[in-house]
A and B are shown apart, each in its own frame.
Chain A
Amino acid sequence: MENQGQLASLTKIIKPYLPDDVAIESVDLNSHFIENLNINSANLVDIVLDVEDEFDIRLENEDMDRMQTVKDALEIIALKTKEKEA
C-alpha cells in the first residue's frame, strides 16, 4: 500500500521531465528512465533532487548510479526512508 503511494509520488515527480511523445500512463515499475522514458541524463539529476525533497532523504552518488528504473528508485526510497526512521 505504501509502495503504491510512493509510486504515485514518484510518477508525479517524473511527469514534467517526460518528452512530449512519452505518455505518463506508460510509466511502470520496469520503466528504464533513459532507455524507455527518454529522459535526458541531465534531468535525471533534477529528478533525484526532487525525490530528496519529496521523501526527505539524501541520495549518494552510488545511489544515483544504481537508479536505472522506476523499481530501482522505489527500492532506494524505501531503503533510505527505513534508514532515516531507524
Chain B
Amino acid sequence: MTNRVVVTGLGVCAPNGVNLEAFRNSLENGSSGIRFHEELKNLNFSCQIAGKPNIDEVNLNDYFTNVQLKGLNSSGLVYGVIAGLDAWENAGLQKNETEPDWDSGIVFGTGILGVDKFREAVYKVDQGDVRRLGSTAVIQTMASGISAFLGGMLGAGNQVTTNSSACTTGTEALLMGYERIASGKAQRMLVGSCSDSGPYVWGGFDAMRILPNKYNDHPEAASRPMSATAAGFVPGSGAGALVLESLESALERGAHIYAEVLGGASNSGGQRNGGSMTAPNSAAVQRCITDALKNSGTTAAEIDTINGHLTATTKDPEEIKNWTEALGRKDADFPTINSFKGHFGHCLAASGSIECVGTVLQLAEQKLYGSLNCADIHPEITKHIDSSCIPQSTRDFAAKISAKASFGFGDVNACAIFKAYT
C-alpha cells in the first residue's frame, strides 16, 4: 500500500526569475537569465558568463531575521531559503511557531554550501585569527545548513536532511521526499536543492575546459542544448523547491494541486562500461529510465513529454539516444523533449529541482516551453528523433505524463515521472 503523492507548492530562485511568476514568464517567453559577469573577466576566466539569480530587489528581511542576516555570506543558502519558504507559502501552509509539525519534513540538497563564507573563514584561520570567525561559520558552510535553516524557520518535525549527488541532487531530493510520503512516514515534504554562485564554484569547471568561451559578448546565445554548435554548459546557480504532500492531506485541507508524482528511480553506472567520474554509463541511464517507468506504474507509450538533463555539451546526442533506446520509441514516434538550460544554464546541484519546478508548471498549465538556441539541431540527434519532437517555441500542449531526468558527476542518475492532476 503506497500513498499517492502530489505537488501542492512551488518556489524558485533562478537566474531567469527569482519568484514563480517571473520564472514562469521567462520559460514561456524564452527570455534568458544568462549574463556577462565582470568579476569573471577580471579573474581571467575563459567563460565570463553565468546564470546568477538577481536578488537585488528581494527584501531579505521577509525571509531572515536581522540576527540571521548578520554576516550572512552564503549565496546558496539565501537562494534555498527564498525558494523553500516561497514554496511553503505557495502551498498555503503556515510556519509552525510553537510545536514542531511531526508530519512535515525536508530533503533539501546541495553540492557545496557557503563557499564565500568558507573563504572568509580560511583567511581568518590562516592569519591565526580563528577566535574571530564568529558563531555562524559552521552553520553557513555545513552542507545541511540549508535544510537546518529551513527546518528551524518552518518548525519541521519529520526527517530534515540534505542530500548530495552532484547535478542529480535536486531530482534525487524529490524522489527521496516522494518515497517518504508514499511509504507513510510523512504527510508533507519540502524538497529541493540549491547551489552557490561565484568564481569559487564555477572555477573548477572553467579549468576543465567544458564551458563555452566564445559567447562572452553575446551571453544569451551561449547555452545551446541539443544544438550542432553547442560548446559546453553555461555555469548557473540558484534554488528550486516543491512541497510534496500525500493526496489525502492535500484534499483534506483543500490545497491547490499542481501535479502528481507517480514515482521514479535513481541509480549509478558504477563508472563501468563507458561510465566514469564525469561521463555516464549509458546502460545505467537507460536502466534508470525503465526502472522509473516500472516504479511509477506507467509505460513508455504513455510518456507525452520529457525534460532532459541536456546540458549543451557533446553528450546531448548520447542522452537522446539513451532515451530512444530506453523508451523503445524513435523518429516521429518519440515524445516531445526540451531543455530549460538554454534559459538559465546549468545550475549544478540546483538544476534538478529548478527544472522539476518547470516540468510541473508545464503540466499544470498544459504548455510546452520552447527549448532555446537549438534551431540548428545536432545531426546526431536527428538520426534518432524527428526534429518536430523538439519545440523551438512555447505552445499549448495537452500532456498527461512527463518524465524528468538528471545525471551527475560520479555516474549517478535520477528520473522522476509526473502526471497532470485532473
Give the Cβ gap from B97 to chain A, nearest Cβ, in Å: 11
Please determine whether A42 and B135 come into contact, CB atoms closer than 8 angstroms.
yes
Chain B proximity mask over A32-44: 1 for CB below 8 Å, otherwise 0: 0000000000110
Give the Cβ gap from A69 to chain B, nearest Cβ, in Å: 20
The residue in B65, B70, B135 that gathers the most chain A C-beta atoms within 10 A of its C-beta is B135
Please determine whether B135 and A46 come into contact, CB atoms closer than 8 angstroms.
yes
Tell me the A9-23 residues at the B interface (CB within 8 Å): 16-17, 20
Query: Is A45 interfacial (CB 8 A cutoff)?
Result: yes
Which residue of A is nearest B71, CB measured?
Answer: A46
Please determine whether B66 and A43 come into contact, CB atoms closer than 8 angstroms.
no
Please determine whether B70 and A49 come into contact, CB atoms closer than 8 angstroms.
no
Please determine whether A17 and B134 come into contact, CB atoms closer than 8 angstroms.
no
Please determine whether A45 and B134 come into contact, CB atoms closer than 8 angstroms.
yes
Instruction: Report whether over half of chain B's contact residues are helix, strand or loop; otherwise say mixed.
Output: loop
Number of interface residues of B (CB under 8 A): 9
- Residues on A with C-beta less than 8 A from B132 are 49, 52
- Residues on B with C-beta less than 8 A from A16 are 66-67, 70
- Within the assembled complex, what's the spacing in Å between the Cα atoms of A50 and B5? 48
- Residues on A with C-beta less than 8 A from B71 are 46
- Residues on B with C-beta less than 8 A from A49 are 132, 134
- Residues on B with C-beta less than 8 A from A43 are 67, 135
Chain B proximity mask over A48-73: 1 for CB below 8 Å, otherwise 0: 01001000000000000000000000
Give the Cβ gap from A37 to chain B, nearest Cβ, in Å: 12
Which residue of B is nearest A41, CB measured?
Answer: B135
- Residues on A with C-beta less than 8 A from B65 are 20
Give the Cβ gap from A36 to chain B, nearest Cβ, in Å: 17
Which residue of B is nearest A18, CB measured?
Answer: B67
- Within the assembled complex, what's the spacing in Å between the Cα atoms of A43 and B65? 13
Chain A proximity mask over B111-138: 1 for CB below 8 Å, otherwise 0: 0000000000000000000001011100
Give the Cβ gap from B176 to chain A, nearest Cβ, in Å: 29
- Residues on B with C-beta less than 8 A from A46 are 70-71, 134-136
- Residues on B with C-beta less than 8 A from A17 are 67
Chain B residues near A (Cβ < 8 Å): 65-67, 70-71, 132, 134-136
For this complex, 19 residue pairs linking A to B, each with C-beta atoms less than 8 Å apart, are: A16-B66, A16-B67, A16-B70, A17-B67, A20-B65, A42-B135, A42-B136, A43-B67, A43-B135, A45-B134, A45-B135, A46-B70, A46-B71, A46-B134, A46-B135, A46-B136, A49-B132, A49-B134, A52-B132
